[in-house]
Amino acid sequence: MKTGYKSELMISNIDEKNNEMEFMDDLRNKMQIDSKPKELKRIEKKLTGRDRLLKVSFSTPFDARAFRAKYNKMGMANADIPSIRVRHARNKEEQLQFEKAAKIKLQTGRIREMIVDADLHILACTETWFKDGDEPIIDDMCPPSFNFVGQHRPEKKDTRGGGVGFVLKSGLITKTAVHNYSTFEALTLRMTWNNRATITVVYRSPPSSENGFSTTDLHECRSE
């Protein structure tokens, strides 16, 4: 697995009229950082009125982390240090995941409007992509007098996405059951008022070389 991108930072808000190397040298001097970037490169398509991202490549991941940590510590507290944004570079997979997560979070407003417009009492969701700490996003998704009951995918190394849940109108008397299956995620909602009903929402990741799933083994999921 290539890890060169871990030695790279993406910096925005640097005027393209500046000499990038002189800018970085001046910034390093103000922050008292010895490690010098080995390469600077503007990326993205040039657009009128917008400065492109500057990709800054260091010799080691440690140098990149140290630069970012030092800027985050000193940048806001020192008026002599220019206001820029520094983040770690992403590989192709991480960028796709980031874009997907951002897109999902932007959809929360549309989901809220759909629930209200359709006068729904229950909405089942898959691929929520929620994780611990996403409560503000979840609150934004739920209309007034609605709650979210869900099961986030456990946060493990190199594992993202997934997640299942329900958006419920307050006042519904329900019980939930979380299922621990090896190949898919599931959450069951049991209504306990007069018109009893049971709803289960299921999500299974698409087949890939990483998870080893195939379209021919779906019957095994049902047997679980």
Quick one: 128 and 207 in the same domain? yes
Q: What's the CATH code of the domain at 26? A: 3.30.70.330
Quick one: 54 and 111 in the same domain? no
Quick one: 14 and 113 in the same domain? no
Q: What is the pLDDT of residue 67?
A: 92
Say how many domains are in the chain: 2
Q: What's the CATH code of the domain at 192? A: 3.60.10.10
Last residue in a domain, options 66, 89, 112 = 89
Segment 181-204 shows an average pLDDT of 82
Quick one: 83 and 113 in the same domain? no
Quick one: 106 and 203 in the same domain? yes
Q: What is the pLDDT of residue 216?
A: 59
Last residue in a domain, options 49, 64, 89 = 89
CA distances from 171 to 8, 145, 146, 193, 194 (A): 51, 9, 9, 10, 14
3-state secondary structure of 33: coil
How far, in Å, CA of 38 to CA of 176, rounded? Answer: 55
Q: What is the pLDDT of residue 105?
A: 66
Quick one: 49 and 129 in the same domain? no
CA distances from 51 to 39, 57, 67, 75, 185 (A): 18, 19, 21, 20, 43
Quick one: 110 and 198 in the same domain? yes
The 10s digit of each residue's pLDDT in 55-113 is 999 999 999 999 998 888 887 667 788 888 888 887 777 777 677 666 766 778 889 89
Q: Is the pLDDT of residue 154 over 70?
A: yes
pTM of the shown model: 0.51
The 10s digit of each residue's pLDDT in 46-55 is 776 778 889 9
Instruction: Find the domain containing 44 and state its range.
Output: 4-89
Quick one: 66 and 105 in the same domain? no
